[in-house]
Each structure stands twice: as structure tokens, then as C-alpha cells.
Amino acid sequence: MTAQILSGKVIADAIKAEVGKQVASLEAVYGFKPCLVAVRVGEDPASQVYVGNKVKAAAELGIRSEHLHLPVGTDTDELLALVRALNDRNDVDGILVQLPLPEHIDEQLIIEAVDPEKDVDGFHPVNVGKLALGHRSLIPCTPAGVIEILKRANIEVAGKHAVIVGRSNIVGKPLALLFLRENATVTICHSRTVDLAAVTSQADILVAAIGRAGFIRGNHIQDGAVVIDVGINKAETDEFARDLFDGEELDKRLNAISKRGYTLVGDVNPKEAIQKASHFTPVPGGVGLLTVAMLMKNTVEAATLRRGI
């Protein structure tokens, strides 16, 4: 068996095309464009890339966007004041505070300060509570992207055993709630799970979201399972790359390590997963691309919910 690769790009492009049509319709019928404001504090290079990708995607779809970049010395009170000012602006539909924030800023306080109606990341306790209760809400983008991949690939979720490795507030926990909404039976594994492979090898759908490069191997995967890799990690040695890849893909990864010192990999060992899974999401090119697409979808959702459209 060789797994079918689930392309995040194809699905993300389809979602963005749908969002673009919605944006054009809102402007034509109601005379406004949704507006997303991204706030970044400090000089974290990864955050700079992520925010840049989000602002670029918004522009491509006709969504108005603002990128507010604050110096690393910004304190919690200053950031709170900015968030509250954005809450008060009627033209702003979505507020995105890029995480992680510098250590001296109270991250949870900032998350809870964002107006839940403008919380396009879906991290506010009000939105988390609505998700848990099955009410309509703004849903965290990466978990929502995982569900979209499965639905658009016509992979049945209802009645299946979904096992999630990782219990973060950003991915693991909200994804478990989404799987329950889709009538799956759900198991969450974590660092204290005893005999992890015994649990994961029972999964019809296995999601890896732990931040450990290549950790999930063939013995963790049931024959024919759908494997969704949410991890984004750096592999920095040729030896590690050879453990994860072979053939042309290995050559490409070794070239990347030679040029920039690393290659991006997921939480799953792809060389072993492809031999056992029925479907598999690559890294890069898988779930990560859906995260930005779902953020755009959330921005339009926030704009319409706020206005009662």
C-alpha cells in the first residue's frame, strides 16, 4: 500500500476562491469589505513570515487588512490599549494578535481582551465554550482546516475512531470537539499516555500535533488509516533527513539542508507512514496551508455574524 497524498494547496485554493466570491458579494450587495487587523510584537522571524502570508492572502481575496507592528519593548498595558481600541472600531471585523508574544506580556490576558465577535483565531474562552456546546462560533483555524481536508477529500468521519496526539488549546482540544461534532469517536493522547503505539494503532484517523519531528512511525499507524500531520519542525542533519525520506524527496531535502541549514518536517515519519496509511498530508504542503485559508474564512464569518447577515 502507498498512501494517497492529500494536497493542502488544492484544498486551500478552493476555500480561498469561495471566500473571494463571498467578499465580492458583500461589497456588491452591502457596500463593505471585511477588514482584518494583524498585530505583531517584536522581531520573531517566524511571526514576521506568518503575518506577511496572512496579509498577502487577505489582499488577494479583496479583504482589507492592516498590519500593526509594535516594538519588542511593548508592555501588556500598551498592547491591551491597542486591542481595546480595535474592539471599538466598527470597521474592524477581525483582530489577530500573532502568537507567541514576548515573555514579558501576559498572553492569556491579551487573548481574553479581544472582542469574541472579532476573535478570528477562535482562541477566546467565549468561542471555545460555544465550540464545546456545539453553537455557531469562530473556530480555531488549524483544527477547522483538518476537518476541511477530510470533508473535501470525501473521507468519512462519522463513526470512525479519531486519535489525536497532542492536547494543546490551539489544536488538540478544539480538534477533539470538532471530531465529536462530526460524530467520530475521539481519543486524545499526550506525553503521559502509556504505550502510545497501542492506542494510535487503533485509529481510523490519526492526527499528529505534538511538535516532535518524525516522532510518529509505522508502528503507530494502523494499516489503511488516514494520517494528518499538523507538526512543523526543523530537520537540520543529513542523517535525520535520511531517516524520514528517500529517493527524489531525500535529494530535495538534503539540498535544502545544504543551502539553509534545515528542512521543514512534520511530526510523522513520512517514509514509514506512506507505506501503511491510505491517505497522508505532507509537510510542507499540507495542513499549514489550510490555516491561512481558514483565517480568511473566519474573517468573512466574523463580518457577517457581527452585522446579522
pLDDT on residue 6: 96
pLDDT on residue 1: 67
> Catalytic residue at 108?
no
Q: Which of 16, 22, 33, 54 is catalytic?
A: 54
Residues 178 and 271 in one domain: yes
Distance spanning both ends of the chain, measured CA to CA = 47
We report the CATH number of the domain holding residue 69 as 3.40.50.10860
**Radius of gyration for the chain, computed over Cα atoms and rounded to the nearest angstrom:** 20
Q: Which of 93, 119, 121, 267 is catalytic?
A: 121
Q: Look at residue 136 and give its three-state secondary structure.
A: coil
pLDDT on residue 205: 98
What phi-psi label fits residue 61: left (phi over 0), alpha (psi between -120 and 50 degrees) or beta?
A: alpha
Residues 151 and 272 in one domain: yes
Residues 36-87 have pLDDT tens digits of: 999 999 998 888 989 999 999 999 999 999 999 999 999 999 999 999 999 9
Residues 106 and 209 in one domain: no
> Catalytic residue at 121?
yes
Q: Report pTM.
A: 0.94
Residues 184 and 285 in one domain: yes
Q: Is residue 51 part of a domain?
A: yes
Residues 61 and 193 in one domain: no
Q: Are strands 161-165 and 185-189 parallel, antiparallel or unpaired?
A: parallel
We report the CATH number of the domain holding residue 162 as 3.40.50.720
pLDDT on residue 176: 98
Residues 70 and 209 in one domain: no
Q: Is residue 8 part of a domain?
A: no
Q: Which of 33, 98, 118, 297 is catalytic?
A: 98
> Catalytic residue at 98?
yes
Instruction: Report the domain count for the chain.
Output: 2
Residues 200 and 88 in one domain: no
Q: Is residue 131 part of a domain?
A: no
Residues 100 and 173 in one domain: no
pLDDT on residue 45: 87
Residues 226 and 86 in one domain: no
> What gap in Å lies between CA 76 and CA 117, rounded to an integer?
22
**Blockwise average pLDDT, block size 10, the chain, 309 residues:** 91 97 97 97 90 94 96 96 98 96 95 98 97 95 97 97 97 97 97 97 98 96 98 95 95 96 96 97 95 97 94
Helical H segments across the chain, by residue range: 8-30, 45-61, 76-88, 107-113, 125-133, 141-152, 172-181, 196-200, 238-244, 247-260, 270-276, 287-307
> What gap in Å lies between CA 80 and CA 109, rounded to an integer?
8
Q: Is residue 294 part of a domain?
A: no
Enter the C-alpha cell of residue 18: 469561495
Residues 145 and 108 in one domain: no
Q: Is residue 135 part of a domain?
A: no
Q: Is residue 255 part of a domain?
A: no
Q: Is the alpha carbon torsion for 85, 88, 92, 95 positive or negative?
A: positive
Q: Is residue 256 part of a domain?
A: no
Q: Are strands 279-280 and 226-229 parallel, antiparallel or unpaired?
A: parallel
**Owning domain of residue 75:** 30-115
Mark which of 115, 132, 151 sits at the end of a domain: 115
> What gap in Å lies between CA 166 and CA 186, rounded to an integer?
13
Q: Is residue 13 part of a domain?
A: no
Residues 13-38 have pLDDT tens digits of: 999 999 999 999 999 999 999 999 99
Residues 188 and 280 in one domain: yes
